[in-house]
Structure 1
Amino acid sequence: MRIPYEYAVIQAVPRVERGELINVGVVLYCQRRDFLEARTHLHDERLRALDPAADVKAIREALTSWEATCTGAGAAAGMSQGERFRWLVAPRSTILRAGPVHMGLATDPAEELERLVTLLVR
């Protein structure tokens, strides 16, 4: 049986004033399956094409924090999965941000997350 889920593409915007971005991950939330995960993939050369001075290490660390937030680590410890997802996808003007939230249907949220990362990021 296919069930609904929500997802957003995680975007790196190394120079906010220019508005250029690359997709660096996907965060997927499926309430019915108690599933919230982010998978990331940073392509160094693509990032440096937008900003040769980009701090790749810092961006990787920030992406790791997105993944940790999904698990409830750190400041997200007291939040429900839904609250964590909404916190991650809230609009912001930082080097990492979420694109628009989209909906879909899938039988397995983990498989769907992998499919979306392959399609939209890698």
Structure 2
Amino acid sequence: MRLAYQYVVLRCVPRPDREEFLNVGVVLHCQSADFLDAVWSVDADRLKALAPQVDIDQVCEALAFVDRVCRGDERAGEAARQSLGQRFGFLKAPRSTVLQPGPVHGGVTDDPARQLEHLRERLVG
């Protein structure tokens, strides 16, 4: 069965004024499969080449927060207590922090978890 999904690419934007970024993760939501998950990978060398001043630990902490929101972990606060759709809405909302979501994209799949991994490989590396 083909299932519709939405996803956002998570970008590390060390200096928003320069509009430079590095893709570091993907969040995928599939309402009909009751699925919300994130995968991420930070290439510290590439990120330091883009922005030597970036705090890699801060970026990883922000990505771990995204994981907690997806899982409904109470340490993520109010956002984690919402429905999956509301959590995805929270995660896809524009931010002015070092970790920002890109535009929302969509597609169809028969396996949301496998699609998420495919997107990570293709878009994050």
Query: Which TM-score band (shorter chain)?
Result: over 0.9
Q: Which has the higher helix share?
A: 2
Q: Which aligned runs of 4 or more in structure 1 are off by greater than 3 angstroms?
A: none
- Point out where structure 2 has 5 or more consecutive residues left out of the alignment: none
1:81 to 39, 63, 84: 84
Residues 28-71 of structure 1, C-alpha deviations (whole Å, 9 max, x = no match): 00000100001000011111111101101111111111111101
Aligned to 2:4: 4
Give the structure-2-normalised TM-score: 0.94
For structure 1, the residue ranges without an aligned partner over 5 or more in a row are none
User: How many residues get paired?
Assistant: 122
Percent of pairs with identical residues: 48
Q: Give the equivalent residue in structure 1 for 2:46.
A: 46
CA distance in 2, matches of 1:119, 1:77: 28
Alpha-carbon RMSD across the aligned residues, in angstroms, is 0.8
Q: In terms of mean alpha carbon deviation, does 7-16 or 69-78 score higher? A: 69-78
Classify the secondary structure of the residue corresponding to 1:52: coil
Q: TM-score, normalised by structure 1?
A: 0.96
